[in-house]
Protein backbone atom coordinates (compact mmCIF):
# COMPACT_ATOMS: atom_id res chain seq x y z
CA UNK A 1 0.00 0.00 0.00
CA UNK A 2 2.66 2.46 1.01
CA UNK A 3 4.57 1.81 -2.23
CA UNK A 4 1.54 3.08 -4.08
CA UNK A 5 1.59 6.35 -2.20
CA UNK A 6 4.46 7.90 -4.11
CA UNK A 7 4.86 11.68 -3.96
CA UNK A 8 3.07 12.36 -7.28
CA UNK A 9 0.15 10.16 -6.23
CA UNK A 10 -0.13 11.88 -2.87
CA UNK A 11 -0.08 15.34 -4.42
CA UNK A 12 -2.65 14.27 -6.99
CA UNK A 13 -4.81 12.82 -4.22
CA UNK A 14 -4.69 15.96 -2.13
CA UNK A 15 -6.16 17.95 -5.01
CA UNK A 16 -8.36 15.22 -6.45
CA UNK A 17 -10.12 14.13 -3.25
CA UNK A 18 -11.88 17.45 -2.62
CA UNK A 19 -12.50 17.70 -6.37
CA UNK A 20 -14.23 14.31 -6.20
CA UNK A 21 -16.36 15.70 -3.41
CA UNK A 22 -17.25 18.57 -5.75
CA UNK A 23 -18.23 16.13 -8.51
CA UNK A 24 -20.18 14.07 -6.00
CA UNK A 25 -22.17 17.13 -5.01
CA UNK A 26 -22.90 17.91 -8.67
CA UNK A 27 -24.09 14.38 -9.37
CA UNK A 28 -26.13 13.94 -6.18
CA UNK A 29 -28.24 17.08 -6.04
CA UNK A 30 -31.07 15.47 -4.11
CA UNK A 31 -29.53 12.72 -1.98
CA UNK A 32 -28.67 14.92 0.98
CA UNK A 33 -27.49 12.24 3.38
CA UNK A 34 -25.46 10.28 0.88
CA UNK A 35 -23.80 13.45 -0.38
CA UNK A 36 -22.90 14.74 3.06
CA UNK A 37 -21.50 11.40 4.15
CA UNK A 38 -19.50 11.11 0.96
CA UNK A 39 -18.00 14.55 1.49
CA UNK A 40 -17.17 13.70 5.09
CA UNK A 41 -15.40 10.51 4.06
CA UNK A 42 -13.45 12.41 1.40
CA UNK A 43 -12.58 15.16 3.88
CA UNK A 44 -11.18 12.60 6.31
CA UNK A 45 -9.33 10.92 3.45
CA UNK A 46 -7.86 14.29 2.46
CA UNK A 47 -6.63 14.91 5.98
CA UNK A 48 -5.12 11.43 6.04
CA UNK A 49 -3.39 12.16 2.74
CA UNK A 50 -1.91 15.41 4.00
CA UNK A 51 -0.76 13.68 7.19
CA UNK A 52 0.88 10.97 5.09
CA UNK A 53 2.61 13.66 3.07
CA UNK A 54 3.73 15.23 6.33
CA UNK A 55 5.22 12.02 7.72
CA UNK A 56 6.95 11.20 4.43
CA UNK A 57 8.21 14.78 4.23
CA UNK A 58 9.61 14.48 7.75
CA UNK A 59 11.32 11.27 6.68
CA UNK A 60 13.10 13.27 4.00
CA UNK A 61 11.13 12.45 0.87
CA UNK A 62 11.04 15.33 -1.56
CA UNK A 63 7.80 16.15 -3.30
CA UNK A 64 8.09 17.82 -6.67
CA UNK A 65 6.13 17.13 -9.85
CA UNK A 66 5.68 18.99 -13.07
CA UNK A 67 2.27 18.30 -14.48
CA UNK A 68 1.75 20.35 -17.60
CA UNK A 69 4.01 22.62 -19.57
CA UNK A 70 2.21 25.91 -20.02
CA UNK A 71 4.76 27.40 -22.34
CA UNK A 72 8.26 26.37 -23.39
CA UNK A 73 9.73 27.88 -20.24
CA UNK A 74 6.87 27.70 -17.78
CA UNK A 75 5.07 24.78 -16.28
CA UNK A 76 2.22 24.03 -13.97
CA UNK A 77 3.73 21.99 -11.20
CA UNK A 78 3.77 21.23 -7.52
CA UNK A 79 6.47 21.17 -4.91
CA UNK A 80 5.83 20.74 -1.24
CA UNK A 81 7.69 22.92 1.20
CA UNK A 82 7.21 23.57 4.88
CA UNK A 83 5.03 26.64 4.82
CA UNK A 84 2.63 25.12 2.29
CA UNK A 85 2.50 21.88 4.22
CA UNK A 86 1.53 23.67 7.42
CA UNK A 87 -1.14 25.60 5.55
CA UNK A 88 -2.48 22.40 3.97
CA UNK A 89 -2.56 20.65 7.35
CA UNK A 90 -4.55 23.49 8.89
CA UNK A 91 -7.01 23.75 5.99
CA UNK A 92 -7.59 20.00 5.61
CA UNK A 93 -8.03 19.34 9.33
CA UNK A 94 -10.44 22.23 9.75
CA UNK A 95 -12.39 21.16 6.65
CA UNK A 96 -13.57 18.01 8.49
CA UNK A 97 -14.89 20.05 11.40
CA UNK A 98 -16.36 22.74 9.20
CA UNK A 99 -18.11 20.16 7.07
CA UNK A 100 -19.79 18.68 10.12
CA UNK A 101 -20.63 22.15 11.30
CA UNK A 102 -21.88 23.08 7.83
CA UNK A 103 -24.23 20.11 7.73
CA UNK A 104 -25.62 21.12 11.11
CA UNK A 105 -25.88 24.76 10.10
CA UNK A 106 -27.46 24.29 6.71
CA UNK A 107 -30.01 21.81 8.02
CA UNK A 108 -30.65 23.60 11.29
CA UNK A 109 -31.12 26.84 9.41
CA UNK A 110 -33.17 25.31 6.57
CA UNK A 111 -30.96 26.85 3.91
CA UNK A 112 -31.60 25.94 0.28
CA UNK A 113 -29.40 24.52 -2.49
CA UNK A 114 -27.20 22.33 -0.32
CA UNK A 115 -25.62 20.60 -3.30
CA UNK A 116 -24.35 23.84 -4.83
CA UNK A 117 -23.14 24.98 -1.43
CA UNK A 118 -21.16 21.90 -0.51
CA UNK A 119 -19.96 21.46 -4.07
CA UNK A 120 -18.49 24.95 -4.31
CA UNK A 121 -17.08 24.49 -0.83
CA UNK A 122 -15.24 21.33 -1.84
CA UNK A 123 -13.98 22.99 -5.01
CA UNK A 124 -12.59 25.83 -2.92
CA UNK A 125 -10.74 23.32 -0.72
CA UNK A 126 -9.33 21.65 -3.82
CA UNK A 127 -8.07 25.02 -5.03
CA UNK A 128 -6.58 25.72 -1.59
CA UNK A 129 -4.64 22.48 -1.68
CA UNK A 130 -3.31 23.26 -5.14
CA UNK A 131 -2.33 26.73 -4.02
CA UNK A 132 -0.53 25.43 -0.93
CA UNK A 133 1.53 22.97 -2.95
CA UNK A 134 2.30 25.18 -5.98
CA UNK A 135 5.88 25.11 -7.15
CA UNK A 136 5.78 28.42 -8.98
CA UNK A 137 3.85 31.67 -9.18
CA UNK A 138 1.96 30.65 -12.30
CA UNK A 139 0.48 27.58 -10.64
CA UNK A 140 -0.24 29.59 -7.55
CA UNK A 141 -2.07 32.21 -9.59
CA UNK A 142 -4.12 29.52 -11.33
CA UNK A 143 -5.42 28.20 -8.03
CA UNK A 144 -5.71 31.67 -6.53
CA UNK A 145 -8.23 32.63 -9.22
CA UNK A 146 -9.96 29.25 -9.01
CA UNK A 147 -10.46 29.99 -5.33
CA UNK A 148 -11.99 33.40 -6.12
CA UNK A 149 -14.38 32.01 -8.71
CA UNK A 150 -15.43 29.00 -6.64
CA UNK A 151 -16.22 31.03 -3.54
CA UNK A 152 -18.40 33.49 -5.44
CA UNK A 153 -21.49 31.22 -5.42
CA UNK A 154 -20.97 30.71 -1.69
CA UNK A 155 -21.05 34.42 -0.96
CA UNK A 156 -24.08 34.91 -3.21
CA UNK A 157 -25.71 31.82 -1.73
CA UNK A 158 -28.81 33.43 -0.29
CA UNK A 159 -29.61 35.08 -3.64
CA UNK A 160 -31.12 38.10 -1.92
CA UNK A 161 -30.33 41.59 -3.17
CA UNK A 162 -27.94 42.03 -0.25
CA UNK A 163 -26.17 38.76 -1.01
CA UNK A 164 -25.84 39.69 -4.66
CA UNK A 165 -24.38 43.08 -4.00
CA UNK A 166 -22.03 41.64 -1.38
CA UNK A 167 -20.91 39.03 -3.88
CA UNK A 168 -20.33 41.73 -6.48
CA UNK A 169 -18.06 43.66 -4.16
CA UNK A 170 -16.34 40.41 -3.26
CA UNK A 171 -15.67 39.41 -6.84
CA UNK A 172 -14.99 42.92 -8.01
CA UNK A 173 -12.23 43.60 -5.50
CA UNK A 174 -10.66 40.16 -5.52
CA UNK A 175 -10.66 39.75 -9.26
CA UNK A 176 -9.92 43.41 -9.89
CA UNK A 177 -6.81 43.42 -7.75
CA UNK A 178 -5.61 40.09 -9.03
CA UNK A 179 -6.05 40.95 -12.70
CA UNK A 180 -4.87 44.51 -12.52
CA UNK A 181 -2.02 44.21 -10.04
CA UNK A 182 -1.10 40.64 -9.18
CA UNK A 183 -1.01 39.42 -12.78
CA UNK A 184 1.03 42.46 -13.77
CA UNK A 185 3.39 41.71 -10.90
CA UNK A 186 3.75 38.10 -11.97
CA UNK A 187 4.34 38.92 -15.63
CA UNK A 188 6.85 41.61 -14.63
CA UNK A 189 8.67 39.13 -12.42
CA UNK A 190 8.76 36.77 -15.37
CA UNK A 191 10.13 39.46 -17.65
CA UNK A 192 12.81 40.35 -15.08
CA UNK A 193 13.79 36.85 -13.99
CA UNK A 194 12.85 34.67 -16.94
CA UNK A 195 11.16 32.11 -14.71
CA UNK A 196 8.73 31.98 -11.83
CA UNK A 197 9.93 29.22 -9.52
CA UNK A 198 9.95 29.64 -5.79
CA UNK A 199 13.64 29.70 -4.96
CA UNK A 200 14.90 29.46 -1.36
CA UNK A 201 16.61 32.76 -0.69
CA UNK A 202 14.49 34.54 -3.28
CA UNK A 203 14.22 34.27 -7.05
CA UNK A 204 15.00 37.94 -7.57
CA UNK A 205 18.12 37.64 -5.41
CA UNK A 206 19.31 34.53 -7.23
CA UNK A 207 22.74 34.97 -8.81
CA UNK A 208 21.39 33.58 -12.10
CA UNK A 209 18.90 36.43 -12.41
CA UNK A 210 21.33 39.30 -12.40
CA UNK A 211 21.04 42.55 -10.52
CA UNK A 212 17.59 43.99 -9.90
CA UNK A 213 17.63 47.57 -8.71
CA UNK A 214 15.80 48.55 -5.57
CA UNK A 215 13.25 50.80 -7.29
CA UNK A 216 12.09 47.81 -9.30
CA UNK A 217 11.91 45.82 -6.09
CA UNK A 218 9.74 48.42 -4.39
CA UNK A 219 7.38 48.71 -7.36
CA UNK A 220 7.10 44.94 -7.69
CA UNK A 221 6.51 44.53 -3.98
CA UNK A 222 3.76 47.13 -4.12
CA UNK A 223 2.12 45.36 -7.05
CA UNK A 224 2.25 42.09 -5.13
CA UNK A 225 1.20 43.47 -1.76
CA UNK A 226 -1.90 45.21 -3.08
CA UNK A 227 -2.47 42.67 -5.85
CA UNK A 228 -2.90 39.87 -3.36
CA UNK A 229 -6.36 41.12 -2.49
CA UNK A 230 -7.05 38.03 -0.44
CA UNK A 231 -4.58 39.30 2.17
CA UNK A 232 -7.06 42.17 2.72
CA UNK A 233 -4.42 44.82 3.15
CA UNK A 234 -6.10 48.20 3.43
CA UNK A 235 -7.47 49.84 1.28
CA UNK A 236 -8.44 46.62 -0.54
CA UNK A 237 -10.13 45.02 2.44
CA UNK A 238 -13.77 45.82 1.72
CA UNK A 239 -14.51 42.45 0.17
CA UNK A 240 -14.08 40.67 3.47
CA UNK A 241 -16.88 42.40 5.39
CA UNK A 242 -18.94 42.17 2.18
CA UNK A 243 -18.42 38.41 2.14
CA UNK A 244 -20.11 38.10 5.51
CA UNK A 245 -23.50 37.76 3.82
CA UNK A 246 -22.44 34.18 3.12
CA UNK A 247 -23.71 31.40 5.36
CA UNK A 248 -21.50 31.16 8.44
CA UNK A 249 -19.64 27.92 7.58
CA UNK A 250 -18.25 29.83 4.60
CA UNK A 251 -17.20 32.73 6.77
CA UNK A 252 -15.66 30.25 9.19
CA UNK A 253 -13.52 28.09 6.96
CA UNK A 254 -13.09 30.24 3.88
CA UNK A 255 -13.09 33.77 5.19
CA UNK A 256 -11.16 33.04 8.33
CA UNK A 257 -8.95 30.23 7.07
CA UNK A 258 -8.72 29.08 3.46
CA UNK A 259 -9.25 32.19 1.35
CA UNK A 260 -7.68 34.84 3.55
CA UNK A 261 -4.86 32.56 4.59
CA UNK A 262 -4.28 31.79 0.94
CA UNK A 263 -3.73 35.53 0.62
CA UNK A 264 -1.23 35.93 3.42
CA UNK A 265 0.34 32.59 2.53
CA UNK A 266 0.95 33.98 -0.95
CA UNK A 267 2.34 37.13 0.65
CA UNK A 268 4.81 35.10 2.71
CA UNK A 269 5.73 32.92 -0.26
CA UNK A 270 6.41 35.99 -2.37
CA UNK A 271 8.45 37.61 0.38
CA UNK A 272 10.53 34.54 1.15
CA UNK A 273 10.84 32.77 -2.19
CA UNK A 274 10.53 35.54 -4.77
CA UNK A 275 12.17 38.55 -3.15
CA UNK A 276 14.19 36.89 -0.44
CA UNK A 277 13.93 38.17 3.10
CA UNK A 278 17.57 39.25 3.29
CA UNK A 279 17.28 41.18 0.08
CA UNK A 280 14.25 43.00 1.46
CA UNK A 281 16.15 43.75 4.66
CA UNK A 282 19.23 45.02 2.82
CA UNK A 283 17.40 47.26 0.42
CA UNK A 284 14.66 48.32 2.82
CA UNK A 285 12.20 47.71 0.00
CA UNK A 286 9.57 46.47 2.41
CA UNK A 287 9.85 49.32 4.95
CA UNK A 288 6.81 51.12 3.59
CA UNK A 289 4.80 47.89 3.61
CA UNK A 290 5.50 47.53 7.32
CA UNK A 291 3.87 50.89 7.97
CA UNK A 292 0.93 50.17 5.69
CA UNK A 293 0.39 46.91 7.55
CA UNK A 294 0.66 48.69 10.89
CA UNK A 295 -1.91 51.26 9.87
CA UNK A 296 -4.11 48.47 8.57
CA UNK A 297 -3.85 46.64 11.92
CA UNK A 298 -4.93 49.63 13.97
CA UNK A 299 -7.54 51.05 11.62
CA UNK A 300 -9.27 47.72 11.13
CA UNK A 301 -9.35 47.19 14.90
CA UNK A 302 -10.88 50.61 15.40
CA UNK A 303 -13.53 49.93 12.78
CA UNK A 304 -14.22 46.54 14.36
CA UNK A 305 -15.07 48.25 17.65
CA UNK A 306 -17.87 50.16 15.99
CA UNK A 307 -19.55 47.16 14.37
CA UNK A 308 -22.67 45.87 16.03
CA UNK A 309 -23.10 43.03 13.61
CA UNK A 310 -21.10 40.16 15.11
CA UNK A 311 -19.85 38.73 11.83
CA UNK A 312 -18.84 42.15 10.52
CA UNK A 313 -16.90 42.78 13.71
CA UNK A 314 -15.14 39.47 13.32
CA UNK A 315 -14.43 40.28 9.68
CA UNK A 316 -12.70 43.55 10.55
CA UNK A 317 -10.83 41.73 13.24
CA UNK A 318 -9.65 39.31 10.54
CA UNK A 319 -8.51 42.22 8.36
CA UNK A 320 -6.47 43.44 11.29
CA UNK A 321 -5.04 40.02 12.11
CA UNK A 322 -4.10 39.30 8.50
CA UNK A 323 -1.97 42.41 8.48
CA UNK A 324 0.04 40.88 11.34
CA UNK A 325 1.23 38.29 8.87
CA UNK A 326 1.93 40.84 6.15
CA UNK A 327 3.78 42.80 8.82
CA UNK A 328 5.81 39.70 9.70
CA UNK A 329 6.94 39.46 6.09
CA UNK A 330 7.59 43.19 5.81
CA UNK A 331 9.81 43.16 8.92
CA UNK A 332 12.15 41.15 6.71
CA UNK A 333 13.83 39.01 9.33
CA UNK A 334 13.59 35.33 10.06
CA UNK A 335 11.59 35.77 13.25
CA UNK A 336 9.04 37.84 11.36
CA UNK A 337 8.55 35.09 8.80
CA UNK A 338 8.28 32.45 11.52
CA UNK A 339 5.82 34.58 13.47
CA UNK A 340 3.79 35.14 10.31
CA UNK A 341 3.79 31.42 9.51
CA UNK A 342 2.76 30.56 13.04
CA UNK A 343 0.08 33.22 13.03
CA UNK A 344 -1.51 31.52 10.01
CA UNK A 345 -2.08 28.49 12.24
CA UNK A 346 -3.00 30.16 15.50
CA UNK A 347 -5.31 32.74 14.02
CA UNK A 348 -7.01 30.02 11.97
CA UNK A 349 -7.99 28.07 15.04
CA UNK A 350 -8.99 31.11 17.03
CA UNK A 351 -11.03 32.83 14.35
CA UNK A 352 -12.80 29.72 13.09
CA UNK A 353 -13.96 29.13 16.67
CA UNK A 354 -15.39 32.63 16.86
CA UNK A 355 -17.19 32.32 13.53
CA UNK A 356 -18.61 28.91 14.34
CA UNK A 357 -19.94 30.31 17.60
CA UNK A 358 -21.47 33.27 15.77
CA UNK A 359 -23.17 30.80 13.44
CA UNK A 360 -24.38 28.66 16.32
CA UNK A 361 -25.92 31.72 17.94
CA UNK A 362 -27.65 32.53 14.66
CA UNK A 363 -29.00 29.00 14.23
CA UNK A 364 -30.31 28.88 17.80
CA UNK A 365 -31.70 32.41 18.12
CA UNK A 366 -31.44 34.12 14.69
CA UNK A 367 -29.62 36.98 16.36
CA UNK A 368 -26.89 38.73 14.40
CA UNK A 369 -26.33 41.96 16.34
CA UNK A 370 -24.13 42.04 19.39
CA UNK A 371 -26.51 44.35 21.22
CA UNK A 372 -29.18 41.64 21.10
CA UNK A 373 -26.96 39.04 22.74
CA UNK A 374 -27.19 40.20 26.30
CA UNK A 375 -27.50 37.28 28.68
CA UNK A 376 -27.40 34.76 25.89
CA UNK A 377 -24.45 32.98 27.47
CA UNK A 378 -26.67 31.48 30.10
CA UNK A 379 -28.78 29.86 27.41
CA UNK A 380 -25.81 28.78 25.33
CA UNK A 381 -22.95 28.25 27.76
CA UNK A 382 -20.91 25.90 25.57
CA UNK A 383 -21.03 28.23 22.64
CA UNK A 384 -20.08 31.24 24.72
CA UNK A 385 -17.29 29.52 26.56
CA UNK A 386 -15.84 28.34 23.27
CA UNK A 387 -16.19 31.92 22.03
CA UNK A 388 -14.37 33.19 25.10
CA UNK A 389 -11.49 30.78 24.56
CA UNK A 390 -11.24 31.74 20.91
CA UNK A 391 -11.31 35.42 21.79
CA UNK A 392 -8.59 35.05 24.39
CA UNK A 393 -6.46 33.18 21.88
CA UNK A 394 -6.86 35.96 19.32
CA UNK A 395 -6.00 38.51 21.98
CA UNK A 396 -2.93 36.45 22.73
CA UNK A 397 -3.18 35.35 26.33
CA UNK A 398 -1.40 32.23 27.51
CA UNK A 399 -2.11 29.35 27.78
CA UNK A 400 -3.71 29.78 24.37
CA UNK A 401 -1.89 29.39 21.11
CA UNK A 402 -2.38 32.94 19.88
CA UNK A 403 0.08 34.16 22.46
CA UNK A 404 3.01 32.46 20.72
CA UNK A 405 2.59 34.05 17.35
CA UNK A 406 2.16 37.50 18.88
CA UNK A 407 5.17 36.91 21.04
CA UNK A 408 7.26 35.88 18.05
CA UNK A 409 6.13 38.90 16.07
CA UNK A 410 6.98 41.15 18.99
CA UNK A 411 10.44 39.62 19.16
CA UNK A 412 10.78 40.09 15.42
CA UNK A 413 9.98 43.78 15.59
CA UNK A 414 12.39 44.16 18.48
CA UNK A 415 14.96 42.36 16.38
CA UNK A 416 14.35 44.76 13.54
CA UNK A 417 14.71 47.63 15.97
CA UNK A 418 11.19 48.88 15.26
CA UNK A 419 9.98 50.09 18.62
CA UNK A 420 6.98 51.82 17.12
CA UNK A 421 5.85 48.57 15.55
CA UNK A 422 6.15 46.87 18.94
CA UNK A 423 3.92 49.59 20.30
CA UNK A 424 1.44 49.03 17.48
CA UNK A 425 1.27 45.32 18.26
CA UNK A 426 0.66 45.94 21.94
CA UNK A 427 -1.93 48.60 21.30
CA UNK A 428 -3.64 46.24 18.88
CA UNK A 429 -3.82 43.56 21.59
CA UNK A 430 -5.57 46.06 23.83
CA UNK A 431 -7.99 46.89 21.06
CA UNK A 432 -8.64 43.16 20.60
CA UNK A 433 -9.58 42.99 24.25
CA UNK A 434 -11.86 45.95 23.78
CA UNK A 435 -13.85 44.54 20.88
CA UNK A 436 -13.85 40.82 21.62
CA UNK A 437 -14.26 40.40 25.34
CA UNK A 438 -17.41 42.51 25.76
CA UNK A 439 -19.29 40.05 23.53
CA UNK A 440 -18.32 37.23 25.82
CA UNK A 441 -18.95 39.20 28.98
CA UNK A 442 -22.30 40.51 27.80
CA UNK A 443 -23.39 36.90 27.31
CA UNK A 444 -23.19 36.19 31.00
CA UNK A 445 -24.33 39.50 32.43
CA UNK A 446 -27.47 41.43 31.85
CA UNK A 447 -31.10 40.55 32.13
CA UNK A 448 -31.88 38.50 29.09
CA UNK A 449 -33.30 35.60 31.06
CA UNK A 450 -36.80 35.06 32.14
CA UNK A 451 -36.94 34.42 35.90
CA UNK A 452 -39.04 31.26 35.47
CA UNK A 453 -36.25 29.47 33.65
CA UNK A 454 -33.98 29.36 36.57
CA UNK A 455 -32.47 25.88 36.46
CA UNK A 456 -29.68 24.89 34.12
CA UNK A 457 -31.66 22.46 32.05
CA UNK A 458 -34.57 24.80 31.51
CA UNK A 459 -32.30 27.59 30.42
CA UNK A 460 -30.22 25.56 28.02
CA UNK A 461 -31.13 26.36 24.44
CA UNK A 462 -28.10 25.47 22.40
CA UNK A 463 -27.94 25.06 18.64
CA UNK A 464 -27.93 21.48 17.23
CA UNK A 465 -25.03 19.43 18.45
CA UNK A 466 -23.31 19.52 15.05
CA UNK A 467 -23.15 23.29 15.38
CA UNK A 468 -21.84 23.33 18.92
CA UNK A 469 -19.35 20.50 19.00
CA UNK A 470 -17.01 21.76 16.26
CA UNK A 471 -16.32 25.14 17.90
CA UNK A 472 -15.70 23.38 21.20
CA UNK A 473 -13.16 21.15 19.46
CA UNK A 474 -11.39 24.07 17.79
CA UNK A 475 -11.37 25.95 21.10
CA UNK A 476 -9.72 22.92 22.63
CA UNK A 477 -7.36 23.04 19.67
CA UNK A 478 -6.32 26.56 20.66
CA UNK A 479 -5.35 25.20 24.03
CA UNK A 480 -3.51 22.13 22.73
CA UNK A 481 -1.67 24.11 20.06
CA UNK A 482 -0.22 26.27 22.81
CA UNK A 483 1.92 23.33 23.83
CA UNK A 484 2.99 22.30 20.33
CA UNK A 485 3.61 25.77 18.91
CA UNK A 486 7.27 25.24 19.58
CA UNK A 487 7.24 22.24 17.29
CA UNK A 488 5.54 24.22 14.55
CA UNK A 489 8.19 26.90 14.84
CA UNK A 490 10.90 24.25 14.81
CA UNK A 491 9.31 22.73 11.72
CA UNK A 492 9.17 26.09 9.96
CA UNK A 493 12.66 27.09 11.09
CA UNK A 494 14.48 25.83 7.95
CA UNK A 495 12.59 28.36 5.82
CA UNK A 496 14.14 31.14 7.85
CA UNK A 497 17.58 29.54 7.93
CA UNK A 498 17.70 28.79 4.21
CA UNK A 499 16.89 32.44 3.84
CA UNK A 500 20.13 33.39 5.51
CA UNK A 501 22.08 30.56 3.91
CA UNK A 502 20.83 31.49 0.47
CA UNK A 503 22.09 35.03 0.69
CA UNK A 504 25.66 34.12 1.53
Partner 1 sequence: MNFLPPFVLDHIPLLAILSPLLASPLIVLFRNRNIAFVISWVAAAVSFVLSAAMLSMTIGGDTLSYHIGGWAPPLGIEYRVDAASALVLVVISLTAFIMMPYAHKSIDAEIDRRHHTLFYASLMLCFCGLMGVTITGDAFNVFVFLEISSLSTYVLVALGAKRDRRALAAAYDYLILGTIGATFFVIGLGFIYMATGTLNMVDLAERLANEESNRTVRSAIAFIVIGMGLKFAMFPMHRWLPGAYTFAPSAISVFLAATATKVALFVVMRFLFNVFSVEFEFERDMLEFIVMPLALIAMFTGSFVAIYQSDFKRLLAFSSIAQVGYMLLGICLLNVEGVSAALLHMFNHGITKGALFMAAGVLVYRQKDALVAQMAGLGKRMPLTAAAIGIGLLSLIGVPGTAGFASKWVLLNATLEKGWWPVTALVVMSSLVTVFYSWRLMETMYLQPAPEGAAKKEAPLALLIPLWVLTIATIWFGLQANITIGAATAGAEALLNRGFLTDTPIIVGMPGR
Interacting residues with partner 1 (CB under 8 A): 68-72, 76, 138, 141-142, 145-146, 149, 153, 156, 159, 164, 168, 171-172, 175-176, 179-180, 183-184, 187-188, 190-191
- Report the residue number, 1 or 68, with the smaller CB distance to partner 1: 68
For residue 315, the minimal CB distance to partner 1 (Å) is: 22
For residue 28, the minimal CB distance to partner 1 (Å) is: 14
DSSP tag of 464: P
Distance CA 342, CA 492 (A): 8
For residue 149, the minimal CB distance to partner 1 (Å) is: 7
- Report the residue number, 45 or 142, with the smaller CB distance to partner 1: 142
Secondary structure string (H, E, C) spanning 192-228: HHCCCECCCCCHHHCHHHCCCCHHHHHHHHHHHHHHC
Q: Which helix (H) or strand (E) holds 78?
A: strand 74-79
Positive or negative torsion for Cα 187, 227, 403, 50: negative
- Report the residue number, 103 or 259, with the smaller CB distance to partner 1: 259
Q: Which helix (H) or strand (E) holds 66?
A: strand 64-71
Cβ 289 vs Cβ 219: under 8 Å: no
For residue 447, the minimal CB distance to partner 1 (Å) is: 42
Distance CA 136, CA 147 (A): 17
Cβ 411 vs Cβ 335: under 8 Å: yes
- Report the residue number, 4 or 191, with the smaller CB distance to partner 1: 191
For residue 12, the minimal CB distance to partner 1 (Å) is: 15
- Report the residue number, 70 or 444, with the smaller CB distance to partner 1: 70
Q: How many CB atoms lie within 10 A of CB 299?
A: 17
- Report the residue number, 153 or 336, with the smaller CB distance to partner 1: 153
- Report the residue number, 188 or 368, with the smaller CB distance to partner 1: 188
For residue 142, the minimal CB distance to partner 1 (Å) is: 4
Cα–chain center distance at 143 = 15
Closest CA to 362 of 240, 245, 447: 245
- Report the residue number, 139 or 432, with the smaller CB distance to partner 1: 139
Closest CA to 191 of 169, 219, 167: 219
For residue 25, the minimal CB distance to partner 1 (Å) is: 13
Distance CA 268, CA 282 (A): 17
Amino acid sequence: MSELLTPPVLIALSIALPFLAFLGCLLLPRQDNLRDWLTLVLAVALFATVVTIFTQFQAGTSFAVEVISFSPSLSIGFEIERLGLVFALVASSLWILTHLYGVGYMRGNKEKKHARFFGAFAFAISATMGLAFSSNLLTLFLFYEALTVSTYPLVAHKETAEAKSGARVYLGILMGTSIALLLTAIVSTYVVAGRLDFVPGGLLSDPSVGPVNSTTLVVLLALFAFGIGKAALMPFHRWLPAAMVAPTPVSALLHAVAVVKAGVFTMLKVGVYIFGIDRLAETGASQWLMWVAAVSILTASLIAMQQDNLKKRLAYSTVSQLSYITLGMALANSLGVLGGGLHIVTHAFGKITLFMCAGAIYVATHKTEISQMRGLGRQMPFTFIAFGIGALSIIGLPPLTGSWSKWTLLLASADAGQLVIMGVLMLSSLLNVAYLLPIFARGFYGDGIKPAQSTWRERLAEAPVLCVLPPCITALGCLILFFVSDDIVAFLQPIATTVTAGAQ
